Structure 1
Amino acid sequence: MDRPYGTIFKGFRGRLLEDEPLAGHTALKVGGKADVMAFPEDLDELRQLYAGCCEQSVKCLVIGGGYNLLVRDNGLRGVVISLKKLKAVERLPGNRVKVQAGVSNQRLVKCLELEGLSGLEFLSGIPGSIGGALAMNAGCHGHEIMAALESLTTLGAGGLQETAGRDLEYGYRFLNLAEGAVIVEALFQLTADDPTAISVRVAEFIEKRRVSQQVGYPNAGSFFKNPPNASAWRLIDAAGLRGTTVGGAQVSEQHANFLVNRGGATAHDFLELAALVKERVRAQSGVVLEEEVRIVGEE
């Protein structure tokens, strides 16, 4: 590797991709190239790579499933680190389970269903990985992931740090972590229950999502946060924006808080469409919407 920061990959065992288009690694299917994309084989290799980036002042971005992410068309300089290989799930005594950040929400729900552990069934209706779900305190239908969290392990410039869930600051679609901190592992306290009863609840959550959010095109889930005492989709709908398009990006005709890629969309299309939605909603209702999707990359 002839990049000036190639020495940080000395002894690296995982896969490395240079000039990698990030459109293939995000749910919206847009985004420019990363200088280098790395896939650490395990937590120790992730720790070493992250430490090397910090020591040599190399920009890095850590991503999970790419479901709550919009990468600008000019891409990202530096290193993008994928957590996809961090996929261990371990049951511990006392109805607890330790989960690495790269585990998909659906896989975890299935594991817990088989183990007869209840408390995270609602994740079956939310795409993405556990790391991403924790980073935004994901939830639906009155449930939030942080409610079941016993402790969280993060990676920062100083290495790994474990923090009790009760000591974390969080709220609606919000978790306050130190700048640069990366979620790598979580310990959940759950409740023993009959696997059949858990399966019924999982099926109910999946059906609710199918009915209300089956939009049929690449999307990042809810694009905007719900304002206090209001629903973003209702405000967008009331502003007459359902079905509005900019380039290949569209306000979904099925769910107005989903911006979808109808084909050939660019990140610029999504940014322009999001700006239009915010402007029209503010003019119609006086409410300023805030993006739930994380926007990264070069301007």
Structure 2
Amino acid sequence: MEEIKEEEREQAKEKDLPSFDDIDLSLLHPRERARLERSFEAQHMSHDQKERLSRITEVRFDEAMREYTGFGVGGAVEALVTVKHVKGLKAVMEFAHDSGVSYLFLGKGRNLLVRDGGMLGMVIRFGGEFCRCEMMRTSDEQAKVSVHAGVELKEFARFAEAFHLSGYERFVNLPGTVAGALQSGHSLRHLSLEHKVEEITVLNAQQKEITLQGKSLRFEGGKLKLPRTTPILRVLLKIAIQKSDEHHEERKLYPEGDVFSIAPFADPEKVEARQLIADAGLQGVRVGSARVSTLHPDFILNEGDATARDLLVLVGLVKDRVKQSSGVALEQKMIVVGNDKQR
């Protein structure tokens, strides 16, 4: 399978404008085929489209994504958009639908990898009024908190501490946003947000605000099931109020120093990914400047000048070795977008 993929990549490099006639798509894995089809359909934004986008929102064109992702690598995105209120988000989504420009939403980019060749379309991130936590209702034992799309986990932890809301002290050491944690399942197992959610407000494809409650919320393995192009606007959480003034010591939960890192794998049901990787003897294994952490084996570190390709090759190696040693197929939670070669 890998030989087929490499052969097709070499064929593509030989031509400036390859067509589907040059590639037998039936030989590719369905996901690889879908990604290839999308890459052929994608087109650069026109000058007029860029001008229009600049008038309706804050935008940076051809922005290197290494500054916005946890692993610190990645080519340039065609347009990095920052929205600061719902009206602005609606305008950007209307633009995307009218112009056919693709887009995805960015929290803190903890589980996002942009390939070295960059990507077309827009990456949309949240600022301004999207970075608010609000106490909506409280009793002696329970509070309801509205958490908006751009609120980071560490900011939420400090808000919870200030209002004596229990159970989120360790979030202060976690990167990412609350909304991103819900959609990726990325939170400590015993502190899953799934059971705290009362309702979630999203923006649908028609730019209408929709509030989902109860059975309308679908979780699988702690992960909220929503289309990637459907943004969460805010989350209403129901949280117990802490009765004591006990101070919880902060623990370092992430890899050594301030190096860029990523945890690409989801934990299987009965064992943690870090244990499987350690048992396979993979601590310290490297490809280029990407290295499996010796202290936190479920993390891969960027030692300075790693590339997206280094990471992807190392992820593939880890998955293969773990499968050989334990029989467990690690699920990749890392989202990979973009192109392998320069656009």
**Same fold by TM (over 0.5)?**
yes
Question: What is the 5 A alignment of 1:147-162?
Answer: 147-159=195-207, 160-162=209-211
Q: Which runs of 5+ in 1 are unaligned?
A: none
Give the equivalent residue in structure 2 for 1:282.
Answer: 323
Give the equivalent residue in structure 2 for 1:57.
Answer: 100
Give the equivalent residue in structure 2 for 1:87.
Answer: 131
State how far apart, in whole Å, the 2-side matches of 1:273 and 1:90 are. 42
- Whether contact under 8 Å (1:114, 1:195) holds in the other structure is no
- What secondary structure, in the 3-state scheme, does the structure 1 residue paired with 2:265 have? coil
Q: 1:239 aligns with which of 280, 305, 309?
A: 280
State how far apart, in whole Å, the 2-side matches of 1:8 and 1:156 are. 22
State how far apart, in whole Å, the 2-side matches of 1:113 and 1:4 are. 48
Distance 1:171 1:124, change over 3 A: farther
Deviation at 1:250, TM superposition (A): 0.4
Deviation at 1:290, TM superposition (A): 1.0
Deviation at 1:292, TM superposition (A): 1.9
TM-score (norm 1): 0.90
Moved more, 285-294 or 3-12: 3-12
State how far apart, in whole Å, the 1-side matches of 2:71 and 2:329 are. 23
Question: What is the 5 A alignment of 1:68-107?
Answer: 68-85=111-128, 86-94=130-138, 95-107=143-155
- What secondary structure, in the 3-state scheme, does the structure 1 residue paired with 2:260 have? coil
- What secondary structure, in the 3-state scheme, does the structure 1 residue paired with 2:331 have? coil
- What secondary structure, in the 3-state scheme, does the structure 1 residue paired with 2:229 have? coil
Deviation at 1:298, TM superposition (A): 2.1
Moved more, 18-27 or 166-175: 166-175
Distance 1:232 1:10, change over 3 A: closer
Question: What is the 5 A alignment of 1:151-230?
Answer: 151-159=199-207, 160-178=209-227, 180-194=229-243, 196-197=245-246, 200-201=247-248, 203=249, 206-207=250-251, 210=252, 213-216=254-257, 217-220=259-262, 222-230=263-271
> What is the identity, as a one-letter code, of the residue corresponding to 2:53?
F
Larger Rg: 2
1:213-267: CA deviations, max 9, x gaps?
33332112x3211112122111111111110000110001111100110110000
Deviation at 1:36, TM superposition (A): 0.9
1:77-107: CA deviations, max 9, x gaps?
0111111332011111231111111111111
- What secondary structure, in the 3-state scheme, does the structure 2 residue paired with 1:17 have? strand
Deviation at 1:125, TM superposition (A): 3.5
Q: 1:48 aligns with which of 64, 85, 91?
A: 91
Distance 1:42 1:79, change over 3 A: same
- What secondary structure, in the 3-state scheme, does the structure 2 residue paired with 1:90 have? strand
- Whether contact under 8 Å (2:255, 2:293) holds in the other structure is no
Q: Which runs of 5+ in 2 are unaligned?
A: 1-44
Distance 1:110 1:150, change over 3 A: same
State how far apart, in whole Å, the 2-side matches of 1:186 and 1:92 are. 11
State how far apart, in whole Å, the 2-side matches of 1:256 and 1:164 are. 37
Identity of paired residues, percent? 29
Distance 1:117 1:231, change over 3 A: closer
- Whether contact under 8 Å (1:113, 1:195) holds in the other structure is no
- What secondary structure, in the 3-state scheme, does the structure 2 residue paired with 1:274 have? helix
1:33-53: CA deviations, max 9, x gaps?
011111112222012101210
TM-score (norm 2): 0.79
Count of residue pairs the alignment pairs up: 289
